[in-house]
Chain A
């Protein structure tokens, strides 16, 4: 059986990649995608933990799966809202490059 720590390493790596994407990407759409990656890292962590909490991989504790379903739902809503705001941004300013979205500083 795959040990829990393998899932946790995968999850941490995904989270780190997502965080890097948020900081390195310049397109607002790609930033939102990177945040999705971070939320998926959370889901992997939760579901793996839910199946391993008894130490035998037998789904002893369902809370993790339930939390993961909530996280997926909230993430979907978040993307919907984010895309609506980015679309509005594109209509007003004709760009979604976060370097050019600089009307306000400091």
Chain B
């Protein structure tokens, strides 16, 4: 390997260099701007990400190269995810500008960290070597630890972040121990080399087996798959709402982008010799579906509800990754398509919840009572989003589930597809609970402004009594439409995010063909054998 080899096609990394420079620029501009103009940084970051997505498409479309002697891949797969992550970043930034302005200190650094985490995600989709994958994963995780802790005075944000960083660091240690075992048995850490090593020799050595299992376990923590999901509900609930959305959508998609490439390039080619990884994934998938959806039934906090429901969705996605096969793109297509559809739909729900929180400072399910009267647009958006998440037709949620579950059933895991459909039905129940609050329950009295920093004890246990008392003392509440307080209109940026998300939710549900073509070209890049 000569130095020329290493720098020959360095220009393919331009989008990453631009993004890193841009993130640093945002940090510097943060120092120069006065406090009332800090939201300009949000708009600038969103604009920059749009530009970056365009730049990536113009520069990298059709490329299929590898950089640094095979550490990073620039192919249709990484390009697809690059554009996808930039899109998520734009929508998250647009929906968080108001929230950040109203509730958080240090807005400039918030956007800078977000940009760095997107850099980490892009690299995760590109990396085809364990150490590179790990470093980019940590770039994403470190940004997320800080962003979860961003509400400095809020003990819940603190607690969520502490739990997140301790479990995150533990999972990195487990992942790295797996990496060191793979390295000490093979002497290499590139995905392709792992596949080659798995294919040759009499038996797969137990040390290699254990190392790969530890890597899968470490990634399971990052995915929040049962039994490694304990951090997710607390981190989701404690985090500021836009960060919760970011955790639920982006970090999940990025972790799956990495897992998908790892499985497709390192494990799938050796599927005849070593297929135990499928069993691990199938067990994790089944447990995630069951635990996520069943525990979600008991939740009162919207963020926690979304956290457990996202654990359930990770279960479906894992089922898709378990059926990856050398001769069929169905599983990979299903997973990538599911990631896009799930992100679009969750974006609608979270943007509407952020708008609701900006207006009221509330995030418990009973607080949504009467939202259909108070702010019909938001209620409709949340309802459509939740219907889509539970998988009802015409919305994208149905199409992605249909596609993914068909792929799972086709590969012979009929019972797993059945379990997925059954747990989707369960999920409809708790989503409908939220919709019932919005459309059937009468609106409560005007919300107290500025109680967003309620402590958890009050938030979870004391609120039912408080509401019961309100009902006793003010019987007028039982006559809806007489005393409900309309909410102020959400800001144009939030309306735009919700509107675009709604259009995409329905359009992709009715006519997914163009997106599916892109998805197929992406999965063909990591599974060239089929």
Question: A: which residues have CB within 8 A of B?
Answer: 4, 8, 11, 15, 18, 22, 28, 31-32, 35, 38-39, 41-42, 45-46, 48-49, 52-53, 61, 63-64, 66-67, 70-71, 74, 77-78, 81-82, 85-86, 88-89, 92-93, 98, 101, 103-104, 106
Contact = CB atoms under 8 A, between A and B. Distances in A.
Interface of B: 131, 134-135, 138, 142, 145-146, 149, 152-153, 155-156, 158-163, 165-166, 169-170, 172-174, 176-177, 179-181, 183-184, 187-189, 233-234, 237-238, 295, 298, 304, 455-457
Nearest to A11: B180
A103 B176 CA distance: 31
Given A35-B170, A81-B146, A101-B162, A67 B189 contact: yes
Given A53-B187, A92-B155, A103-B155, A45 B180 contact: yes
A23 B262 CA distance: 30
B169 A46 contact: no
Contact of B160 (A4, A11, A53, A104): A104
A18 B166 CA distance: 13
B525 to A, nearest CB: 26
A85 B189 contact: no
Contact of A85 (B161, B176, B180): B161
A39 B176 contact: yes
B220 to A, nearest CB: 16
Contact of A92 (B158, B189, B237, B304): B158
A18 B155 CA distance: 28
B367 to A, nearest CB: 18
Given A49-B187, A53-B187, A92-B153, 10 more contacts: A28-B166, A38-B173, A49-B183, A66-B131, A74-B138, A78-B142, A81-B165, A85-B158, A93-B158, A98-B162
A41 B173 CA distance: 9
Instruction: Decide if the interface of chain B is mainly helix, strand, loop or mixed.
Output: helix
16 contacts: A22-B170, A42-B179, A45-B180, A49-B183, A61-B187, A63-B188, A64-B184, A67-B179, A70-B131, A70-B135, A78-B165, A85-B149, A92-B155, A103-B456, A104-B238, A106-B233
A2 B293 CA distance: 52
Closest 4 CB pairs of A and B: A49-B184, A103-B456, A38-B173, A45-B180
Contact of B172 (A15, A66, A78, A106): A78
Contact of A74 (B135, B149, B152, B298): B135
Contacts of B455: 103
A48 B184 contact: yes
Given A42-B176, A85-B149, A92-B153, A103 B183 contact: no
Contacts of A46: 180, 183-184
A85 B177 contact: no
A92 to B, nearest CB: 5
A61 B174 CA distance: 23
A101 B176 CA distance: 28
Given A64-B183, A104-B233, A104-B456, A42 B177 contact: yes
Contacts of B145: 81, 85
A42 to B, nearest CB: 4
A48 B172 CA distance: 20
Contacts of A42: 173, 176-177, 179-180
Nearest to B235: A104
Given A22-B170, A35-B173, A85-B145, A93 B155 contact: yes
A41 B178 CA distance: 11
Contacts of A78: 138, 142, 165, 169, 172
A41 B181 CA distance: 11
A103 B237 CA distance: 10
A45 B177 contact: yes
B447 to A, nearest CB: 22
B7 to A, nearest CB: 18
